[in-house]
Amino acid sequence: MKRGDQCHPRNQQGFSLPEALIAALFFSVSLLGVLQYHQALLKGFSSLWQQRQAWSVLHQHIDSAGEDRLDRPFISGMKPNWLYRQSIGRTEGECAELRFTLAVRENQPAKLARWFCSTNGSG
């Protein structure tokens, strides 16, 4: 062997196997974290979109329905897993407060209340 080979080790080019494995592990863990964050964002946006749809459907139901059509059990545009509920809150004279609830999920109901007064033509 030459004397110069013992003093100066060969110049290494590239990465060693342990370095490459550690880099691949770090990359995969980082990628999994980003994908999990992306999934959580999509779930949140989906929930928000469904909630906005529920508000829109509930507003359309109240605005399009006359006093005679408010007791309809079904709302057009409602998804099969949504829960619709309507109740009478208070009554004062000829007026009644109707409460409408449309639940997309159990913990996120869209609630609206509106007063409806009967017009008898008197007065």
- Name residue 29's amino acid: V
Q: Given this model, what pLDDT does residue 7 score? A: 59
Neighbours of 119 (CB within 10 A): 9
Neighbours of 106 (CB within 10 A): 7
Q: Where are the chain's structural domains?
A: 3-117
Q: Residues 90-114: what's their mean pLDDT? A: 84
pTM of structure:
0.59
Contacts of 20 (CB under 8 A, 6+ apart): none
CA distance 98 to 113: 6
Q: Given this model, what pLDDT does residue 36 score? A: 98
- Name residue 23's amino acid: A
